[in-house]
């Protein structure tokens, strides 16, 4: 996993070109103005999901990971906590191949707080629990880039 700021994207120039495409796309497009839903960037290889939701208590959330796609969470507005752990440290449930969803159970070994301009890259081994409130519940808008694992 990688936690960083879109404002420092030059620092990440050694990352895989598909991840760099996500940063370039975010800088060249006003994602805050995008409608909720899926927007294609490079076919099924790279696309972005724009989501809006209210953060909530940790007890209302769930663990997830993905095998086919790398997630790049980019906060557009608001703030959320994302709990983190490696999938081998959690109890893995049945993988749902159609939706590329691996549910898990267990405790976190760390977390990040995503604020406007912050991003989190989650690789297939990185379990994450999103939408946790930081201090109070709040509405957020986020871009989640999906990058096909090659």
Domain count, the chain: 1
Task: Look at the pTM and tell me if it is higher than 0.85.
Answer: yes
Closest to 144 measured CA to CA, from 54, 12, 60, 34 = 34
Q: What's the pLDDT tens digit per position in 7-48? A: 987 788 889 999 999 999 999 999 999 999 999 999 999 999
Domain limits for position 69: 2-148
Output helix, strand, coil percentages for the chain, rounded to the nearest 5. Answer: 20, 50, 30
Alpha-carbon Rg for the chain in angstroms: 15
Answer for the pair 120, 3: CB distance below 8 angstroms, yes or no: yes
CATH number (domain holding residue 68) = 2.60.120.370
Q: What's the per-residue H, E or C state across 57-93?
A: CHHHCCEEECCCEEEEEEEEECCEEEEEEEHHHCEEC
Grade residue 113 by pLDDT with cuts at 50, 70 and 90.
Answer: very high
């Amino acid at each position: 996993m990688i936690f960083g700021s879109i404002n420092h994207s030059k620092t990440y120039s050694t990352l895989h070109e598909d991840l760099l495409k996500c940063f370039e796309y975010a800088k060249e497009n006003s994602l805050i103005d995008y409608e909720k839903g899926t927007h294609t960037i490079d076919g099924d290889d790279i696309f972005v999901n724009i989501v809006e939701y209210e953060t909530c208590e940790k007890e209302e959330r769930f663990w997830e990971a993905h095998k086919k796609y790398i997630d790049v969470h980019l906060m557009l507005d608001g703030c959320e906590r994302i709990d983190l752990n490696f999938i081998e440290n959690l109890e893995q449930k049945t993988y749902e191949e159609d939706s590329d969803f691996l549910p898990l159970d267990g405790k976190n070994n760390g977390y990040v707080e995503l604020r406007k301009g912050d991003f989190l890259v989650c690789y297939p081994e990185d379990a994450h629990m999103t939408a946790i409130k930081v201090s109070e519940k709040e509405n957020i808008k986020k871009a989640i880039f999906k990058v096909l694992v090659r």
